[in-house]
Amino acid sequence: MNGLLTLLVLLPLAGFLVNGLFGRRLGPAFVNIVGVGLPLAAFAVAVWAWRILEAGGGEPLIETVFTWALVGEHVFEVSFYLDRLSAVMALIVTGVGALIHIYSIGYMKGDESYARYFAYLNLFLFFMLLLVLGRSLLVLFVGWEGVGLASYLLIGFWFQDVDKARAGRKAFITNRVGDAGFLLGMFLIFTTVGTLEMDQINQAFAGGLIPVGIATAAGILLFIGATGKSAQIPLHVWLPDAMAGPTPVSALIHAATMVTAGIYLVARMSGVYLEAPAASTLIAVIGLLTAFLAATIALVQTDIKKVLAYSTISQLGFMFLALGVGAYAVAVFHLFTHAFFKAALFLGAGSVIHALNGEQDIRRMGGLAHRIPWTSGTFLVATAAIAGLPPLAGFFSKDEILWFALASGQGGSFWFWLLGSVTAFLTALYMFRLYWLVFLGRSRMAPEVAAHVHESPWPMTSVLVVLALFSVVAGWFALPQYLAPLLPAPDLRFAWPILHWGLIVFAVLVAVAGLVAAGVLYGDGGRRAEAIERRFARLYRVLAGKYFVDEIYERLLQRPWRWISDRVFLRLGDRILLDGSLHGLAALARRGAGVLVRIETGSLHWYAWMILLGLVAVLIWVWRYV
Q: What are the residues binding another protein (CB under 8 A)?
A: 600-605, 608-609, 612
Estimate to the nearest angstrom the gap between the alpha carbon of 621 and the chain centroid.
71
Question: Which one, 520 or 615, has the nearer CB to another protein?
Answer: 615
C-alpha distances in Å from residue 122, one per residue of 42, 98, 245, 322, 559? 11, 10, 16, 31, 38
Distance, CA of 135 to CA of 426 (rounded, Å): 39
Shortest distance in whole angstroms from residue 605 CB to another protein: 6
To which H or E segment does residue 116 belong? helix 114-133
Residues 223 and 279: beta-carbon distance below 8 Å: yes
Question: Which one, 29 or 596, has the nearer CB to another protein?
Answer: 596
Residues 424 and 405: beta-carbon distance below 8 Å: no
Shortest distance in whole angstroms from residue 622 CB to another protein: 15
Estimate to the nearest angstrom the gap between the alpha carbon of 308 and the chain centroid.
14
Shortest distance in whole angstroms from residue 143 CB to another protein: 58
Distance, CA of 404 to CA of 321 (rounded, Å): 9
Question: Which one, 494 or 607, has the nearer CB to another protein?
Answer: 607
Shortest distance in whole angstroms from residue 589 CB to another protein: 18
Question: Which one, 590 or 598, has the nearer CB to another protein?
Answer: 598
Question: Which one, 587 or 608, has the nearer CB to another protein?
Answer: 608
Distance, CA of 172 to CA of 392 (rounded, Å): 35
Question: Which one, 536 or 609, has the nearer CB to another protein?
Answer: 609
Shortest distance in whole angstroms from residue 593 CB to another protein: 13
Shortest distance in whole angstroms from residue 615 CB to another protein: 9
Question: Which one, 581 or 601, has the nearer CB to another protein?
Answer: 601
Q: What is the 3-state secondary structure (H, E, C) of 216-262?
A: HHHHHHHHHHHHHHCCCCCCCCHHHHHHHCCHHHHHHHHHHCHHHHH
Question: Which one, 545 or 614, has the nearer CB to another protein?
Answer: 614
SS3 of 299, please?
coil
Question: Which one, 21 or 613, has the nearer CB to another protein?
Answer: 613
The dihedrals phi and psi of 303, each to the nearest 5 degrees, come to: -95, 125
Residues 433 and 522: beta-carbon distance below 8 Å: yes
Question: Which one, 501 or 606, has the nearer CB to another protein?
Answer: 606
Please list, residue by residue across 191-214, b when 16 or more beta carbons sit within 10 angstroms of its beta carbon and e when fewer do.
Answer: ebbebbbbbebbebbeeeebeeeb
Residues 7 and 45: beta-carbon distance below 8 Å: yes
Residue 435 makes CB contacts below 8 A (sequence gap 6+) with 379, 380, 383, 518
Shortest distance in whole angstroms from residue 600 CB to another protein: 6
Shortest distance in whole angstroms from residue 609 CB to another protein: 6
Shortest distance in whole angstroms from residue 598 CB to another protein: 12
- Could you tell me which of 271, 299, 263 has the C-alpha nearest to residue 514? 299
Shortest distance in whole angstroms from residue 76 CB to another protein: 47
Shortest distance in whole angstroms from residue 602 CB to another protein: 3
**Taking phi first (over 0 means left), then psi (-120 to 50 degrees means alpha), and beta for anything else, what does residue 495 get?**
beta
Distance, CA of 24 to CA of 30 (rounded, Å): 9
Question: Which one, 478 or 612, has the nearer CB to another protein?
Answer: 612
